[in-house]
Amino acid sequence: MPIDVTPEDSAVFARVPSTGRITSQLRHVMTREWNRCTVCGVQGDMHRPLFAGYDAEGQALLAHARCASTIIELATPVYWTEQPDISIADTQMVWRYMDFAKFVAMLQQQGLYFPRADQMDDKFEGAAGNASREAEWDAFYLKFFRGAVTTPPPGYPAPILNEDQIDREAKRLLSSIKASGENARSSLVSCWHANSGESEALWRLYCPPPIAGVAIRSTVQNLWNAMEHEVSAVVGRVHYVDFRKHFAGIGNDRLFFKRRSLSHENEVRIVIADRGGSDPNSRVIQCDLSALIEEIVISPFAPSWFHEVAANIASTMGLEAPCRQSDLLEQPFY
């Protein structure tokens, strides 16, 4: 997609050079707004940059050039590429279903457990698509990169390259994005379910009878707040696609694509770039669980005495959140 940097855009670059400082707050704004200006609310021009940065009070902004006067520190320009729209409202209610052992472990560790993507059950985590279509994917990006290396940005002279040089550079770039896809599988992931209420399907999936379990209810805003010290953390909604017809994104974007057959999960996930640690396969990200969790709901398949046990354990271990029985226990009338 051609980029058009206008004199108005150039004036912003000249006034506030990019620092590259992206905080958790700014990443939140960039993800939630995607390509919408936070000042005027208008969506960006697909050929022009938006400007992500901070105002005099340190508040994060994403703005058009015409609205960028309040930006005193420019972190980075943001270009409308073919990146997926994973934005989701901060008010969206999210749930995490778990058996009792995992609930107790979360309370003991005072944080959220994040496995690496390549350690999760779905072998398609981080995949670009079906293996049978890899040659088609390669051909698309080779063609794209051949055009990219011979098309300079506005104002720059065209490079003088022969066919062999163009081909080598296109193959190098293809190899680079394939490597970035492999690296994405080392990212850490926490999976949540977006819904305004309980899901019987997910109760049966994660706490099938006779397993006693709970669901913790939170919001997207709370997820972002819990990750405030993880500057690489991204909270976004998952796209469900038919890999017979479509491909996933590039790099970490791939972790927000899953097979359409899993669409019942209606997933929101937190993705964090792996920084390494004592356990190469996972990390526990500590956070204020009382601020994260708004409610504990007891599985409708749990025995009647389990409610009191779960509530007492949560209280004893310092979790300040109401605990109630499942709505699915309500009885019908005829």
Judgement on whether residues 115 and 211 belong to the same structural domain of the protein = yes
**64 pLDDT tier (thresholds 50, 70, 90):** very high
Tell me the per-residue pLDDT of 313-332, one tens digit each, with 9 for 90 and over. Answer: 999 999 999 999 999 999 99
Residue 45: what pLDDT?
84
Boundaries of domain holding 31:
7-79
Specify whether 198 is located in the same domain as 307. yes
> Which pLDDT score is estimated for 71?
96
Buried b (16+ CB within 10 A) or exposed e, 306-317: bbeebbebbeee
Residues 116, 244, single domain; the answer is yes
**Same domain as 234, residue 108:** yes
Number of neighbours of residue 117 by Cβ within 10 angstroms = 21
Residue 33 exposed, middle or buried by CB count within 10 Å (0-12, 13-18, 19+):
buried
DSSP reduced 3-state for 43: strand
Quick check: is 2 in a domain? no
pLDDT tens string 92-137: 999 999 999 999 999 999 999 999 999 999 999 999 999 999 999 9
Rounded mean pLDDT, 64-78: 94
Does pLDDT of 69 surpass 80? yes
Residue 2 has pLDDT above 70, yes or no: no
> Does residue 334 lie within any of the structural domains?
no
**C-alpha dihedral, 77 to 173 to 162 to 140, nearest 10°:** -100
Residues 179 and 191 in one domain: no
DSSP 120: S
Q: In angstroms, rounded to a whole number, what is the distance separating the alpha carbons of residues 277 and 30?
A: 28
DSSP state of 218: E
Structural domains counted in the chain: 3
What pLDDT, on a 0 to 100 scale, did the predictor assign at position 150?
84
Average of per-residue pLDDT values in the chain: 92
Same domain (yes/no): 16, 30: yes
CB–CB of 289/222 below 8 Å? Answer: no
Q: Which positions ≥6 away from 254 have C-beta within 8 Å?
A: 126, 127, 128, 181, 184, 248
Each residue's pLDDT tens digit, 288-310: 999 999 999 999 999 999 999 99
The answer to whether residues 308 and 325 belong to one domain is yes
Give the tokens for residue 171. Answer: 């193959």
Q: What is the mean pLDDT of residues 63-73?
A: 95
Question: pLDDT band at 154, cuts 50/70/90?
Answer: low
From 311, 302, 310, 309, select the one nearest 329 (Cα to Cα).
302
Q: What is the pLDDT of residues 215-225, one digit of tens each?
A: 999 999 999 99
Whether the pLDDT of residue 89 is over 60: the answer is: yes
Q: What angle do CA 259, 195, 333 make, to 5 degrees?
A: 120
**Pair (223, 120) in one structural domain:** yes
pLDDT value of position 83: 75
**CA angle 101–107–109, rounded 5-degree value:** 100
- Integer Cα distance of 298 and 289 in angstroms: 17
